[in-house]
Amino acid sequence: MKPAPFDYLRPASLPDLLDTLSKCGDEAKILAGGQSLMPLLNMRLASPRIIIDINGLSELDYIRADADVLCIGAQTRQYRLICDPLVRASVPFLVPVTKLIGHPQIRHAGTVGGSLAHADPSAELPAAMCALGAQFRILSSGGERRVSADDFFLSMLTVDLRPDELLAEIRIPVRSNTVWGIREYARRSGDFALAGAAMVMETDGARLCSQARVVLFGVADRPLHAIAAESYLSGLDLVSEIAEDFALACVDGLQCDGDIHVTGDFRKHLARVMAKHAFLDVAALVKARNRGIQA
Amino acid sequence: MATVTITKECLKEALVSRFHEGQRVFALESQYIADLNPIPNIHHAAVVRSPHAHARIVRIDASAAFAIPGVVGVLTGEDVRRWCQPFVVSAEKPGAYYPCAIEKVRYAGEPVAVVVATDRYVAEDAQHQVVVEYDPLPAVASIEAAMAPSAPLLHEEQGTNIAIDRLLDYGDVDQAFAEADLTLQKQYYFPRYQSFPLEGYGVIAAYHPSEGRATIWANFHGPYSMLTVLAAALRMPVSKLRVITSPDVGGSFGNKIALYPYMALITLASRKVGVPVKWIEDRMESLRASSCGADRLTDIEVAATRDGEILGMKMVLRDNVGAYIRAPEPGCLFRPIGNYVSGYRFRNLQARAIAVMTNMCPTGPNRGYGCQQHYFAMERIIDELAFELGKDPAEVRLLNLIRPEELPYRTPTGGLYDSGDYPATLKKALELSDYWEFRRLSADPVLSSDSTGSWTGIGIGVAVDPSSSNMGYMDVSKKASERRPGMFKAGSVETARAYLDATGGITVELGTAAEGQGHETTAIEIMASELGLLPSDISVVGGMDTATKPWTVSSGTYASRFGTMGTSALIATARQLKKNLIQAGAYFLKLSAEKFVFQQGRVTSLDDPKKSLSVKDIARRLHWSAGALPPQLLTACNAEGTFSASDMDYPNEQDQVNSSAVYAFAADVVVAEIDQETFDIRIKKYISVHDAGNILHPRLVKGQLAGAALQGIAGALYETLQYSETGDFLTGTLMDYLCPTVNEIPDEMISEYIIIPTPKTLCGAKGLGESTAQTAPIAVANAVADALRNAGLEITELPITPSRLWEGLSRLSHRKQEI
Amino acid sequence: MESRRRQIVNAIINGLPVERLVDVRKTLADFLREDNGCTSVHLGCEHGVCGACTVLMDGLSVRSCLQLAAQAQGKEIITLDGVMKTELGKEISRAFLENFGMQCGFCTPGIAVSLYQLFLESSGEIGDEELRETLSGHICRCTGYVDILKAARQLQKSASSAAGAKVEG
């Protein structure tokens, strides 16, 4: 299982990279962490003419705050989201999300941008970014544009990125009074989820839900907002008693495909169960916070 | 958080306190086949494989491949047809099996051509440039499809996809069923999986045209009867084939037995291209085109009294052997023949053994080899029988298990169970698992409420675990009238050697090629304890080289035979060496040998303990003073011990054969918990009690049992080789074929032993490497069946997955709604 | 900047600086095995699942089958060869040999490297969950993991995290 021949480029700077992409992006694949691309190359399921290795671009490897936005450079290795103090302080949701990704070796090499650009429908980061209402900064030699996470994931392994473009930065609004939950089901720990639910809610400071972003993953060709569930929560208290109804709303109208591991109906059932348990985590967090306030 | 606790009965601590073979790994001295470059000018192969499950090969065009710099040659089916004969196999209607497809491909992944180049990267480039034109044919990818009346035929000349159809009849089943108070009939399915070793196949072959010889390095480990099959196919005398096992082999679990067709393929590639050729299998190749356990569809009927005594069983066994039935198949059907009744006393058995060919990968031995498939149906129906009779499954088993006073016991199928106490072994497992307490609690409506959010069940699996196959058992696949008279195949034999060096150190040479089982550690253990020496005085040389080491067709590591044959050969060798040392010591002290004993590394006179010589002294004299030695002491430094298993006869006219030399016994109890929401299956408790005779090295044994158990659990819950209806291979990578990780092991594991030495081996040890691979999947299935019994869901097939359980229960509740 | 099929790689492998010309498509695993004598790096799947090829790259465990050799440029790579030059490495080997935490040995180097990283950077106690998380990226077919856990737990108790643990040339 050896890759097919390719030409190799290793731009030394961002302008170099963008210039390269404008010239040959349509024949090239970007090599970031390689955790998704290398298996494809080794299996010869992908044989691009050019590989552009962007691992020399340290200018894309950063975590910083920009006013009330957490900015993560696309080349940030995934493991850093677990231990970085700024992430833990401003968007702590990313910690449990990242812990669900694969195994340590994968998180050491895989990049945040790489996972998002690859857009595996069962991956955690794409769903989490949709739940966070993140925005992506996309660069090309022609300039810059921003796309919301919701608009970025188009279908299976397909994202809103032209061949000459690079996903450069992930921008996550830092909001107060947020609670969150993520649960997934996999046969073995570290596997891609057979179904999962990621959710971020904003409260009034106590229990009332002012805004909910509920995203299912592993159930469709891309992360799926459970719109009915999101509206259902509007104006409700985030308490465990509504978990079952909430979960039902999450899968309302959902039709899933089966595969060699699960039938479509069972996947839908799992999605509901995961949504329920993620919501229970949310409710527990709300309860703990409120106890803290009262104390 | 889950914890793993292992307890075991206190066994004698071994002398060898560290894993001897492991030192090589940490000293960076391992040499697996991929690490070897034993001769100059090695080139590398990549195999062109069929994407189709069934197709005619219209045309192969390798011209584009040749255009790639570094490509030195291509081997195709035409070359194979010219140089090769089909592999022989013991089956009625086998179809011709070559190492490479000729004219037709019969499974997705079947080799079609071999490209040889300067390195593997280039070889793969060239592999993808070989253009093969196929004419696809309809495929059959299940037992039922292949057996259907109008099924497409894999081997048209055979007129059928059924390679073997043998009716074996023992006792009087009709009478048993007529007398029975209750009969029960079920159908069970046991799936196909591959307990693949982490290291795949590897072959380095050099064909020497000047002498028509070939040297093959490979991680092949026997049985060396396969060499006769290999040589015959290559149209070479066995003596012209030198097969050398790599110094280290990264596991096998039976799967590397079926390496021999690739040994043929790569040898032919070397012959075609004129250079030594190295082929290292990758994981995608291994999953789709190496070997795996056969899947089986069983129709089983049991006849019993209302007290639960089993009077007889009838079975129809349909094994899917894949596109070609290849040796050592049909071992899947017949390897367990001596123990077909497992540990139970019933004398009336009818088994119709059918080998079916389908457009899937050919099968082979996979740890447990035929036993788990066989026992699964029996153990499941025994549970169902118990339920029908209102009895506990443990009770029914205890009633029917052969009692210790009945051993040695000749089974109706010819097996000779040498030793054991089956009821005591099961009782111990029941005790350790708090089985009766579990039953009491489940029966209590208050205590067993479903408010825990999961269903819990307890299940039993027992197995008579055979080891050391009798070379003759395979002939039971033929009717008595069709067996070749005079061609008696019978028995199993093993030889070891020991050399005493000039300073009194001992080197032991093993004839077995290990794949991690600790043969070397065991050899040192045995020699050190037999000779009263320190482990550090003993060196071991393992591996096999057919040109320089003695071997017979029964040699090799398979059927758990090292634990019995290997260790016995070592003890025989130690005893021979002791004899030699006593003779020498007596001679040097000018006394009669009868007056001497060997103790604690010394030869000492019984009459006068001061008259004593150490091994060192004796060694020095034997080496240096050859000129002063009498003829009978000239070879005293070299000892050889051979052990041949007894009661290993050729099948008789009644189709009875003692198929294995020794029979161990294992009883497992599993507590399984199924989450009522996710249907995730967790093994809370895994208890295994084992009677493997004398335990020579407790740590090694424990490791073998734990490894085998997880492989059995994997087959029950996680690992299944899956194909579409049209024969497309669906589990082509490790992302689809789910191997258990550390997080999938049972929460609590207890393994204990009952020690009942066997008289069949010199050390009293029985083989044990395969036992829990047989019992674990059965106990898991029975536990899940128990857990879901009240919900009305029957478990009739593996694997058990959350999706299947949920679908099963959903169907039940829909049916209820309709009613 | 021109595209290329071959690339010079400068890296530090097990403490020694190396400079080699490689095919750009050659994986780091093959580069280590074939060009640097590190045959302890094993290939069990070549698609990032089994962990047998695990090495340290700038101190972090990675699957070398999923890295190009060219990506080693400017990096420090440590394989079992380097680990075994350290005291911690010797402790790891003792733990595995004494606890029979291995059988065929094929998965062992990758696991040893992962554990080396885990215990190297531990400033306090390594919990059971962390231990399992580290081991979860490795497939073993022989042992059923029970004795691997035993070996790892022995290290949990005794590993000297800092003393003599750095890999020097």
Q: Is the domain of C86 the same as that of C67?
A: no
What DSSP string describes C24-88?
Answer: TT-BHHHIIIIIS--TTS--S-SSSSS-TTEEEETTEEEEGGGSBGGGGTT-EEE-HHHHTTSHH
CB–CB contact C98 B516 (8 Å)? no
Average pLDDT over residues B101-129: 98
The domain that holds B226 is classified in CATH as: 3.90.1170.50
CB contact, 8 Å: A293 with chain B?
no
Average pLDDT over residues A242-254: 97
- Predicted confidence at residue A293, as pLDDT, reads 64
Average pLDDT over residues A105-124: 97
In a domain, C169, yes or no: no
Nearest CA in chain B to A189: B743
Whether C4 shows a pLDDT value over 90: the answer reads no
- Predicted confidence at residue B403, as pLDDT, reads 97
Domain end among C39, C62, C79: C79
Q: Which two tokens stand for residue A139?
A: 């660069």
Q: Are B204 and B40 in contact (CB under 8 A)?
A: no
Stretch 254-283 of chain B: residues touching chain A, C-beta under 8 Å: 282-283
Domain end among B344, B368, B392: B368
Instruction: Give the number of other CB atoms < 10 A from CB of residue A124.
Output: 27
Nearest CA in chain A to B127: A4
Domain end among A158, A173, A188: A173
What DSSP string describes B651-686?
Answer: P-TTS----EEEEEEEEEEEEEEEETTT--EEEEEE
Average pLDDT over residues B347-370: 98
Whether B64 shows a pLDDT value over 90: the answer reads yes
Q: Is the domain of A46 the same as that of A124?
A: no
In a domain, A266, yes or no: yes
State the total domains in chain A.
Answer: 3
- Model confidence over B762-791: pLDDT tens digits? 999 999 899 999 999 999 999 999 999 999
In a domain, B22, yes or no: no
The domain that holds A267 is classified in CATH as: 3.30.390.50
What DSSP string describes B633-653?
Answer: GTTTTEEEEEEE-SS-PPP-T
Q: Is the domain of A142 the same as that of A203?
A: no
- Model confidence over B153-191: pLDDT tens digits? 999 999 999 999 999 999 999 999 999 999 999 999 999
In a domain, B1, yes or no: no
Q: Is the domain of A182 the same as that of A241?
A: yes
Whole domain around residue A203: which residue ranges?
178-294
In a domain, B480, yes or no: no
CB–CB contact A39 C48 (8 Å)? yes
Q: Is the domain of B349 the same as that of B438?
A: no
Residue B458, strand partner residues: B671
Residue B801 with chain A: CB contacts under 8 Å: 187, 261-262
The domain that holds B713 is classified in CATH as: 3.30.365.10
CB contact, 8 Å: B807 with chain A?
yes
CA distance B683 to chain C (A): 14
Q: Are B470 and B791 in contact (CB under 8 A)?
A: no
Average pLDDT of every residue of chain A: 96
Q: Is the domain of C24 the same as that of C92?
A: no
Q: Which residue type occupies B517?
A: Q
CB–CB contact C105 B21 (8 Å)? yes
Q: Is the domain of C53 the same as that of C102?
A: no
Q: Is the domain of A129 the same as that of A75?
A: yes
Q: Is the domain of B604 the same as that of B724?
A: no
Question: Looking only at Cα atoms, what is the longest distance across chain B?
Answer: 98
- Model confidence over A119-153: pLDDT tens digits? 999 999 999 999 999 999 999 999 999 999 999 99
Instruction: Give the number of other CB atoms < 10 A from CB of residue B594.
Output: 8
Residue B731 with chain A: CB contacts under 8 Å: 260
Q: Is the domain of A28 the same as that of A70?
A: no
Cα C5 to Cα A3, A270, C32: the distances in Å are 13, 47, 19
How far apart are alpha carbons B563 and B757 in whole angstroms?
13
Domain end among A173, A192, A211: A173
State the total domains in chain C.
Answer: 2
- Predicted confidence at residue C166, as pLDDT, reads 57
Domain end among C79, C101, C129: C79
Q: Is the domain of C89 the same as that of C154?
A: yes
Q: Is the domain of B271 the same as that of B349?
A: yes
Q: Is the domain of C75 the same as that of C86?
A: no
CA distance A80 to chain B (A): 24
In a domain, A190, yes or no: yes
- Model confidence over B189-223: pLDDT tens digits? 999 999 999 999 999 999 999 999 999 999 999 99
pLDDT confidence tier of residue B369, bands split at 50, 70 and 90: very high
B128 against B484, higher pLDDT = B128
Q: How far apart are the first and last CA of chain A?
A: 60
Q: Are C88 and C32 in contact (CB under 8 A)?
A: no
In a domain, A2, yes or no: no
- Model confidence over B546-582: pLDDT tens digits? 999 889 988 999 988 999 999 999 999 999 999 999 9
How far apart are alpha carbons A17 and B202 in whole angstroms?
42
In a domain, C167, yes or no: no
- Percent of chain B past pLDDT 70, that is, above it, reads 97
CB–CB contact B34 C43 (8 Å)? yes
Nearest CA in chain C to A16: C1
CB contact, 8 Å: C139 with chain B?
yes
Nearest CA in chain A to C45: A1
Average pLDDT over residues B692-708: 93
- Model confidence over A198-239: pLDDT tens digits? 999 999 999 999 999 999 999 999 999 999 999 999 999 999
In a domain, C44, yes or no: yes
Give CA torsion, residues B427, B430, B434, B438, to 10 deg: -130
Q: Is the domain of B570 the same as that of B703?
A: no
The domain that holds A108 is classified in CATH as: 3.30.465.10
- Predicted confidence at residue B5, as pLDDT, reads 39
The domain that holds A44 is classified in CATH as: 3.30.43.10
Residue A12 with chain C: CB contacts under 8 Å: 1
Q: Is the domain of C11 the same as that of C75?
A: yes
State the DSSP H helix or E strand holding residue A287, giving kind and residue range, or none if neither.
Answer: helix A264-294
Q: What is the 3-state secondary structure (H, E, C) of B139-176?
A: CCCCHHHHHCCCCCCCCHHHCCCEEEEEEEEECCHHHH
Q: Is the domain of B202 the same as that of B295?
A: yes
In a domain, C118, yes or no: yes
**Reduced to 3 states, what is the DSSP secondary structure of residue B467?**
strand
Q: Is the domain of B461 the same as that of B508?
A: no
Whether A18 shows a pLDDT value over 70: the answer reads yes
Whole domain around residue C108: which residue ranges?
82-158
- Percent of chain B past pLDDT 90, that is, above it, reads 88
How far apart are alpha carbons B198 and B255 in whole angstroms?
11
Q: What is the 3-state secondary structure (H, E, C) of B213-261?
A: EEEEEECCCCCCHHHHHHHHHCCCCHHHEEEEECCCCCCCCCHHHHHHH
- Predicted confidence at residue B471, as pLDDT, reads 84
User: For chain B, which chains pass the contact test of at least 3 CB pairs under 8 Å?
Assistant: A, C
Q: Is the domain of A23 the same as that of A92?
A: no
Edge-to-edge, what's the strand order for the sheet holding A166-173? Answer: A63-66, A69-73, A166-173, A135-140, A143-148
CB–CB contact C98 B18 (8 Å)? yes
- Model confidence over B667-699: pLDDT tens digits? 999 999 999 999 999 999 999 999 999 998 999
Q: Is the domain of B597 the same as that of B674?
A: no
The domain that holds C71 is classified in CATH as: 3.10.20.30
Domain end among A173, A191, A214: A173
Where residue B574 falls (left for φ over 0; alpha for ψ -120 to 50; beta otherwise) is alpha
How far apart are alpha carbons B164 and B93 in whole angstroms?
7
CB–CB contact C138 B741 (8 Å)? yes
How far apart are alpha carbons B748 and B597 in whole angstroms?
48
Whole domain around residue B126: which residue ranges?
36-368
Q: Are A74 and A166 in contact (CB under 8 A)?
A: yes
Whether B2 shows a pLDDT value over 50: the answer reads no
In a domain, B567, yes or no: yes
- Predicted confidence at residue B4, as pLDDT, reads 39
Distant-in-sequence, close-in-space partners of B794: CB < 8 Å, separation ≥ 6: B384, B785
Average pLDDT over residues C64-85: 98
Report DSSP state, residue A253. Answer: T
Q: Which of B609, B606, B576, B604 is nearest to B588 (CA)?
A: B604
Q: Is the domain of B113 the same as that of B202?
A: yes
pLDDT confidence tier of residue B24, bands split at 50, 70 and 90: very high
The domain that holds C99 is classified in CATH as: 1.10.150.120
CA distance A11 to chain C (A): 7
Q: Which of B800, B748, B810 is nearest to B1 (CA)?
A: B748
Q: Is the domain of B816 the same as that of B699?
A: yes
Residue B195 with chain C: CB contacts under 8 Å: 141
Residue B283 with chain A: CB contacts under 8 Å: 1
- Model confidence over B455-491: pLDDT tens digits? 999 999 999 999 999 988 999 999 999 988 666 788 8
Q: What is the CA radius of gyration of chain A?
A: 19
Whether C162 shows a pLDDT value over 50: the answer reads no
What DSSP string describes B585-618?
Answer: HHHHTTS-GGGEEEETTEEEESS-TTSEEEHHHH
- Predicted confidence at residue A109, as pLDDT, reads 97
In a domain, A1, yes or no: no
State the DSSP H helix or E strand holding residue B268, giving kind and residue range, or none if neither.
Answer: helix B260-273
Q: Is the domain of C102 the same as that of C131?
A: yes
Whether B423 shows a pLDDT value over 90: the answer reads yes
Q: Is the domain of B304 the same as that of B437?
A: no
Q: Which two tokens stand for residue A30?
A: 């970007």
Stretch 704-743 of chain B: residues touching chain C, C-beta under 8 Å: 706-711, 733-735, 739, 741-743
In a domain, C168, yes or no: no
- Predicted confidence at residue B447, as pLDDT, reads 64
pLDDT confidence tier of residue C165, bands split at 50, 70 and 90: low
Q: Is the domain of A202 the same as that of A134?
A: no
Q: Are B132 and B60 in contact (CB under 8 A)?
A: yes
Edge-to-edge, what's the strand order for the sheet holding B602-605? Answer: B596-599, B602-605, B612-614
CB–CB contact B738 A187 (8 Å)? yes
In a domain, A81, yes or no: yes
How far apart are alpha carbons B614 and B585 in whole angstroms?
9
State the total domains in chain B.
Answer: 3
Q: Is the domain of C87 the same as that of C61?
A: no
- Predicted confidence at residue B451, as pLDDT, reads 63
Domain end among C63, C79, C95: C79
Q: Which of B795, B766, B799, B708 is nearest to B339 (CA)?
A: B766
Q: Is the domain of C145 the same as that of C100?
A: yes
Cα three-residue angle C34-C37-C39, rounded to 5 degrees: 80
Q: Is the domain of C44 the same as that of C60?
A: yes
Residue C4 with chain A: CB contacts under 8 Å: 7-9
pLDDT confidence tier of residue C123, bands split at 50, 70 and 90: low
CA distance A107 to chain B (A): 17
Q: Is the domain of B174 the same as that of B50?
A: yes
- Predicted confidence at residue B448, as pLDDT, reads 60
Q: Is the domain of B599 the same as that of B543?
A: yes
Average pLDDT of every residue of chain B: 94
Q: In residues, how long is chain C?
A: 169
By Cβ distance, the residue of A2, A188, A262 closest to B120 is A2
Q: Are B163 and B357 in contact (CB under 8 A)?
A: yes
CA distance C135 to chain A (A): 9
Average pLDDT over residues A33-52: 97
Q: Is the domain of C153 the same as that of C106?
A: yes
Distant-in-sequence, close-in-space partners of A222: CB < 8 Å, separation ≥ 6: A119, A121, A126, A153, A154, A155, A156
Whether B449 shows a pLDDT value over 60: the answer reads no
- Model confidence over B792-805: pLDDT tens digits? 999 999 999 999 99
How far apart are alpha carbons A159 and A149 in whole angstroms?
10
In a domain, A130, yes or no: yes
Where residue B431 falls (left for φ over 0; alpha for ψ -120 to 50; beta otherwise) is alpha
Task: Report the Cα B545 to chain-centroid distance in Å.
Answer: 22
In a domain, B30, yes or no: no
How far apart are alpha carbons B281 and B252 in whole angstroms?
14
Q: What is the CA radius of gyration of chain B?
A: 28
How far apart are alpha carbons B581 and C41 in whole angstroms?
45
Q: Is the domain of C154 the same as that of C87?
A: yes
CB–CB contact C145 B741 (8 Å)? yes
CB contact, 8 Å: A263 with chain B?
yes
